[in-house]
Amino acid sequence: QVQLQESGPGLVKPSQTLSLTCTVSGGSISSGTYYWSWIRQPAGEGLEWIGRISTSGGTNYNSSLQSRVTISIDTSKNLFSLKLSSVTAADTAVYYCARGSRGSYYDYWGQGTLVTVSS
């Protein structure tokens, strides 16, 4: 059974960089044709797709965030990561990592981690 677990600081100061890691267990991040993604959800709101990375390292980002986002993958450690720079209060949200199969149908999700942007 594949499991994903987000980790990283729960509090980030404005203008700084938000950094999160998603550790994958129960299977190799390199096996199969999957896209590994980040999705966020502000409190009481809907879901916003941030971007995705393939096992070969190819990335796609939401154009609304593209100038600030970097997603990377470390197959040796079975994890992938998110960096979001120059954060503001609008970036406060629960951040989910997820596995996309058959393209980007998200069949496995992490539990989510709340990141608050505040001084």
List residues near another protein by CB under 8 A.
Answer: 46-49, 52, 60-64, 96, 98, 102-107, 109-112
**Smallest gap from residue 33 Cβ to another protein (A):** 14
* Chain center to CA of 81: 6
Phi, psi torsion values for 30, nearest 5 degrees? -90, -15
CB closer to another protein out of 16 and 94: 94
**How near is the Cβ of 109 to another protein at its closest, in Å?**
4
Q: How many whole angstroms separate alpha carbon 114 and alpha carbon 10?
A: 6
Could you tell me which of 15, 10, 112, 12 has the C-alpha nearest to residue 68?
Answer: 15
Residue the block writes with tokens 């209060």: 89
Which is nearer to another protein, 90 or 119 (by Cβ)?
90
- Judged by beta carbon, residue 52 or residue 73, the one nearer another protein is 52
Q: Are 81 and 19 in contact (CB under 8 A)?
A: yes
* CB-nearer residue toward another protein: 49 or 78: 49
The distance of closest approach from Cβ of residue 92 to another protein in the complex, given in angstroms and rounded to an integer, is 17
CB of 97 to another protein, least distance (A): 10
